[in-house]
Structure 1
Amino acid sequence: MIERLAHVRNWIFDLDNTLYPASADLFAHIDTRMTAFVADLLQVDRVEARRIQKEYFLGHGTTLAGLMTEHDVDPYAFLDYVHDIEMDVLAADAPLAAALARLPGRKIVFTNGDRPYALKVLERLGLGGSFEGVHDIHSMNLRPKPQPDAYAGLCAAFDIDPAESLFVEDMARNLKPAKAIGMTTVWVDNGSEQASDVDRSFIDFHIHELNPWLHHILETA
């Protein structure tokens, strides 16, 4: 393990577009169903539904948070609907499973999705036994990343010291609260977050793919 990471005891990973390549485009299917949900709920066309969806995502952290705040949407109904997708674009990732197994310490998934969806993705990737637990949107009391409460709740739930923790995430904005409480941060810059004018000073490691980086840090003396 490289010296900069010798302090890490807790390895925390986002799920979508982090534990699998963004090129799999799985989230595009979820995104399409979110748009359909908004269109049906508000009785608008898909173009307007898409605009509202992204407005809520940017303003509230997730589309769901915006729908709950603005329209009192049942989170269970929403999550069941948008996660009802095929996962045949995902395949088992034996090299990633091997790398995760070699990391010294605890491994946890921290996702704005829900636990049933996360477990299906992990099983599809061959990572069902790779993580101690999943901290999902319900564990966050429906206050998603990047809300500071989400990170405090994660640390409390798993008795984590942020100063001994590393968080890997494809959305750079979700790393800022992690850095604020002392976590080491890793941004998987794979195109899933397009903003170019965001402060990146809170990012410790800027990578493009998770698998090669994990193998690099494990092999580097």
Structure 2
Amino acid sequence: MPMTDLARAQTWVFDLDNTLYPASCRLFDQIEAKMRAYIADHLKLDDAGASALKSELFRRHGTTMKGLMLDHGVDPHHFLDFVHDIDLSPLDGSPALGGVLARLPGRKVIYTNGSTAHAGRVLARLGLTDQFDGVFDIVAARFVPKPEIEPYREMLDLLGVQAAGAVMVEDMARNLAPAAELGMTTVWIPNGTEWGDHGQGDHIHHTTHDLAAFLARGIAFGKLSSAAGRKGF
């Protein structure tokens, strides 16, 4: 889909993990390890058993946490606090992305299957805290994860976002399907994992491996199209 499709953007909806920072920093590996440790301790499993159950719960319920809630009565707040207690030192500040976001017209919000507290820590580490107008997290979604469509509707309503004027940026292909169904333009950032690649299709309108460069191209295109008398990016 050409960049002209992005020219109408009024709101940018960004996922957090492996989207605003590269998956190559392996930060989410820490969260995955904490999930396995939580399952092992809570259900008295060895590491192999915990790993297998984690994958099964993710496959059946959309997130491991939802599966633990429904199948094992886990307190989601306790789970989130535990798995997000990680070392953020692999994250470097992101001045290139920060500079582009500062020049990006329209509102910018976060929609994450993680918690607002985790989002706040990550954004602070990246130096991006001031770039976003709001966060819609898994708690606000009443623990219903992407890609179930209802929390997408709730996110749009709570944050006052018009779907037709919104762009959603995600690292998991399947999570963009509800966004496209509701009328949002979608941007996929492949994270190199099996789960990230799952669910590719026509609902993905743009793909990029470099978010800052992609947004910079869009801003440059918008200036050109605006100079030609069309709506700017």
TM range, normalised to the smaller chain?
A: over 0.9
CA distance 1:127–1:196, change in 2 (3 Å): closer
| Length-normalised TM-score, structure 2 | 0.91
In structure 2, what is the equivalent of residue 107 of structure 1? 108
8 Å Cα contact 1:190/1:209 also seen in 2: no
Query: CA shift at 1:194, angstroms?
Result: 4.7
Identity across matched positions, percent: 44
Could you give the per-residue CA deviations for residues 117-168 of structure 1, whole angstroms, max 9, x where no partner exists? 1000000000010100111011101111111111011011011110110000
Alignment of 1:146 onto 2:147: yes
Superposition pairs of residues 204-215 of structure 1, within 5 angstroms: 204-215=205-216
- Contact 1:12–1:165 under 8 Å retained in 2: yes
Give the deviation of 1:209 after TM superposition: 2.0
Give runs of aligned pairs for residues 73-112 of structure 1, distance below 5 A: 73-112=74-113
CA shift at 1:215, angstroms?
1.2
CA distance in 1, matches of 2:207, 2:136: 24
Alpha-carbon contact 2:168-2:186 (below 8 Å) kept: yes
Residue deviations 1:164-192 (CA, integer Å, cap 9, x gap):
10000000010001111000001001313
Instruction: For 1:68 and 1:132, locate their aligned partners in 2 and report how far apart those are by CA, in whole Å.
Output: 30
The alignment yields a C-alpha RMSD, in angstroms, of: 1.5
CA–CA distance in 2 between the matches of 1:51 and 1:22?
22
Conservation of the 8 A alpha-carbon contact between 2:5 and 2:185: no
TM-score by length of 1: 0.96
Letter in 1 for 2:36: T
CA distance change for structure 1 residues 88 and 143 in 2, over 3 Å: closer, same or farther?
same
Alpha-carbon distance in 2 for matches of 1:99, 1:196: 26
Q: Report what 2:31 is aligned to.
A: 30
Contact 1:170-1:192 within 8 A present in 2 as well: no
Q: Secondary structure at the match of 1:84?
A: coil
Deviation at 1:197, TM superposition (A): 6.5
- What is the CA–CA distance in structure 1 between the aligned matches of 2:97 and 2:142, rounded to whole Å? 30
Alignment of 1:4-83 (within 5 A): 4-83=5-84
| Secondary structure in 2 matching 1:37 | helix
CA gap of 1:195–1:219, structure 2 versus 1, over 3 A, is: closer
Which sections of structure 2, spanning at least 5 residues, go unmatched? 225-233
- Quote the offset at 1:198 in angstroms: 3.5
